[in-house]
A and B are shown apart, each in its own frame.
Chain A
């Protein structure tokens, strides 16, 4: 459609399509209101997180009195985050597959980048909500016998940065695997190696806060690297989403 045509249609008082920003807000609201009605994501992810904690309890709880858990606590926390987010990402696209909801979105004259960002933002939000429940539980379950470092609350920073990156790259990969055979396993297979750099830096940052580092520079360095990863992957997703969705 040429620009002249576009001007003509807008002059004909037909409603102009909302801007990409407005589309993003609209789509995010849609995601959140679906979640608010069904509570499907939060309940399934929350229960799954609880179950992972139970497995941790069985795996390490028996000898917990004998050693200091802090050196591995950051890593364990991220095991919890990675597996819970994998479940969430799969579920969020289950919903899109049912009744071809995603196809309907693609048929609508929407900016594909906006669809990606809204979906990723919603997934990040769900992940943060789950962490608000699961991380304190983790501390209650496993930190009873150890002294908690004064820097420990800072662990929220890598968790937040990590959630954004996981949601960004996870949404992109989940869309790619939506129509593959053995979708759940396929997503894990792509997601874990791709998210590795983020995981590596976030575990490092989380461990430092939990262990109580005197010098915060390495913590900042790891967090900045994780932020860089977030930026690269979100831009990549935003650019490639149109291609991934297909015509």
Chain B
């Protein structure tokens, strides 16, 4: 428990490096990387709006949006892995890590949804389209929210931890299936537009990778800090109980 009394230097360092990297990436993409030609599609109607080829400032969201999305998947994986470890060891600390991992996942999913939706509104002229990526993230968000509601609806701590861990595992497996199915199932409702299939040119790849590493580091730092805060809160509760008993 001694580690709790010190500041988490690893987390601080990760946060600092992450902040520098992402800031550098955003500056780079606005100042150096040229505007891209949007719409590799040759004129497609999406929700009744004709998508045309033009220089896209909105594409800059990509450098924020995609790293955040990837980080959310990383966090979900971390949460599920700690869930599995909990089921194997029945050690409460793993349950706490799993829960904190889910919290980080939710934060990053919400950031993904917001940035993605801004882009959708600007590019496609609609607030919402049942398009594979949007749909997948929407479902993922519902799953993570359901995870927390599930936790609050069970009282017994070990039962809560077990059921939550199992649900975390199911969610981790369900998310890629969602992604796969929404892409592979043929649908006549909306055309699926792929914009970033092809390899990125260096001037786009560089800031993207910087932002990606930066964002993953920030995610890691937030996870560590929140974990420390939650552990401290638990310890405080334990100490309070102890004092009450002694009085």
Chain A interface (Cβ within 8 Å of chain B)? 169, 172, 176-177, 179-182, 186, 189-190, 192-194, 196-197, 200-201, 204, 208, 218, 221-222, 225, 228-229, 232, 236, 240, 243-244, 246
Contacts and interface: CB of A to CB of B under 8 A. Distances in A.
Contacts of A208: 186
Contact of A194 (B153, B155, B159, B174): B174
A218 B142 CA distance: 28
Interface stretch (B27-35, B106-114, B160-168): B160-168
A200 B182 contact: yes
B125 to A, nearest CB: 23
Interface in B165-188: 166-167, 169-171, 173-174, 177-178, 180-182, 184-187
Contact of A193 (B143, B155, B169, B182): B143
A182 B173 CA distance: 26
A236 B186 contact: no
B153 A182 contact: yes
Nearest to A219: B186
B170 A179 contact: no
Nearest to B149: A189
Interface string B64-80: 00000000000000000
Interface of A is mostly: helix
Given A190-B167, A194-B170, A243-B166, A225 B146 contact: no
Contacts of A186: 149-150, 153
Contacts of B159: 179, 246
A221 B146 contact: no
B154 A244 contact: no
A186 B177 CA distance: 22
23 contacts: A172-B170, A176-B166, A177-B153, A179-B159, A180-B153, A180-B154, A181-B154, A189-B146, A189-B150, A192-B142, A193-B174, A196-B139, A196-B178, A197-B174, A197-B180, A197-B182, A201-B181, A204-B185, A204-B187, A221-B184, A232-B177, A240-B169, A244-B163
